[in-house]
Chains A and B, each alone.
Chain A
Amino acid sequence: MKRLDHDTYREWLHLECDGELPAADRSQLRQHLDSCADCRAESQELVALDKLLTESRIPIHRRFHDDVMSALPSAGWESSHPRSWAAALIVAALLGIAGAALLGTSAARLEPAAPFVAAIVAVVDLFQSTALAGAGLLTASWKGLGLAFQELLAGSVWNLLAVGLLVFGLDFLLLRLLLRRHRPAGLASGGEPPANRH
């Protein structure tokens, strides 16, 4: 066993307190402590300091963990993960099934089919008819609106002038609204300007 100076033992006391002293040196330190009252006192002070600091740790909020977990946004790396493709894959699969069903019903119309297939064909036909009817109504209403405007404008010069004034008024109103939005918030609310920072 090599003979060490007092300062080295004092450094070892700190390492021992932090659990960083190698096991091989620990027994030598213990032997030294048995014979050195100064180092024993130093050791007790270090243990007391460590205890004091440990006791001064603050508790965390009860909801801290839950708050962190609920604040997690979607990370960029998550988009490259298979799980994030699951929803898209399900939608694609459903679209595929719907497409196959449409093709199947079209084929079934060409040749006599079982009652079950005929029922599916009837439901699909119903959906198709509803969609076509909706599209037709929409087109008709736009067309009707266009015709009404055409008649109004062709009626007289006064009608044309009135519509022109209406459009001009609406444009003016829109411009006012846009300008108000771009005005600084402090001026708009009439509040005081922010204090200077030093």
Chain B
Amino acid sequence: MAASATMPRRRVKLTWQNILVYAVVLIITLVMLTPFVWMLSASLKLNRDVFSFPIQWIPAEPRWENYVEIWTKIPLALFIGNTAKITIIVTILQLLTSSFAAYAFAKLRFPFRDTLFLGYIATIAMPWQVYMVPQFLLMRELDLNNTHTALIILQAFTAFGVFLMRQFYQSIPDELCEAARIDGMNEYQIWWKIMLPLSKPALSTLTIFTFVNTWNDFLGPMIYLTKTELKTIQIGLRMFISQYSAEYGLIMAASIVSLVPVLLIFLALQRFFVEGIASTGLKG
């Protein structure tokens, strides 16, 4: 946001209206960055200094030891490993299932296709909190309680992902699929050799959404995972909270660490992400 506010300065006329717009954008940016900066600052403080007022943005004696202690106080590396495993598998599965289903909904003709799609999309409107208990009972019935498998199969399919991919596939001309069909490809080959390589921007967008969502998921792991060795980082962080006290300095330090992969994924895919928004389509 900050970048877009400063970059086109040369071309934009200096009118009151523009100054106002930029001021508002700048304020919003600051407001959004503040909690992050506070987190960074708190991660370098002793527990008792975290909530001192007025806020000391730059600690007088930064406690870098916090970043060492978090690895020994709780099995943080194990939690990160668990989270990474679940997140990576879920993301890959979602990319496959979403693009696969989206191809059928966008490019194949079969009875009740649009009705079926509408029905599937309608499930987005249903909050997870409504059906998480029956879902849990079902998973327990299948003996999947306290396994990563439960979380993985529950998140392997996503109506939102199908919707996103379908919208993108609809911008790919049908002629291309027909040319491929005449060239001798079957539908699976068209999906794999034509649609997937062409949908990098949409796939990147979905990767970012899914990765961030799964990585940051709190409620899911909390419901399904009770054994320490299975926990993900988001519920593992709660181990810094005991009955009478909470290690806020350490929580913030571990939170910063848990943010790094998400940030890296975003930076790595940002190019395609922006490309996806900027590209006007494949025709011409």
A and B co-occur in one complex: no
**Which residues in B have some Cβ–Cβ distance to A below 8 Å?**
none
